[in-house]
């Protein structure tokens, strides 16, 4: 996923957080992989979940993050049960 796409989703128009956002993209993909969801660059639902998770982590980086919102959790479950395997 391109940094510019994620920054557009986050509505970030400055470069100071580029390193942080790139790290969140990588961490999100590891999180999904560990949840049984392999990278699926051509899958729009996968890409939306990446955007949503990166946004969640970005917006909550200064506080006790707490639980992933249930909407995102349900989408992760759907992706993990979709039958796509590495």
For residue 81, give both structure tokens: 């049960």
Place of tokens 């920054």: 7
Question: Domain-by-domain residue ranges, the chain?
Answer: 3-80
Match 């128009």 to its residue by tokens: 13
Residue 70, both tokens: 């249930």
Write down the pTM of the prediction: 0.90
- pLDDT by residue for the chain (86 residues), tens only, comes to 899 999 999 999 999 999 999 999 999 999 999 999 999 999 999 999 999 999 999 999 887 777 899 999 999 999 999 866 54
| Cα gap 50→81, rounded to integer Å | 17
Residue 18 to residue 65: CA distance in whole angstroms: 20
d(CA 42, CA 62): 32
pLDDT of residue 83: 65
């Amino acid at each position: 996923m391109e940094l510019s796409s994620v920054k557009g989703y986050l509505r970030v128009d400055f470069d100071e957080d580029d390193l942080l956002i790139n790290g969140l993209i990588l961490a999100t993909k590891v999180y999904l992989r560990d949840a049984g969801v392999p990278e699926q660059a051509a899958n729009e639902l996968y890409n939306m979940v990446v955007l949503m998770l990166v946004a969640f982590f970005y917006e909550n980086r200064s506080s006790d993050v707490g639980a992933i919102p249930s909407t995102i959790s349900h989408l992760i479950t759907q992706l993990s049960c979709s039958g796509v395997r590495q």
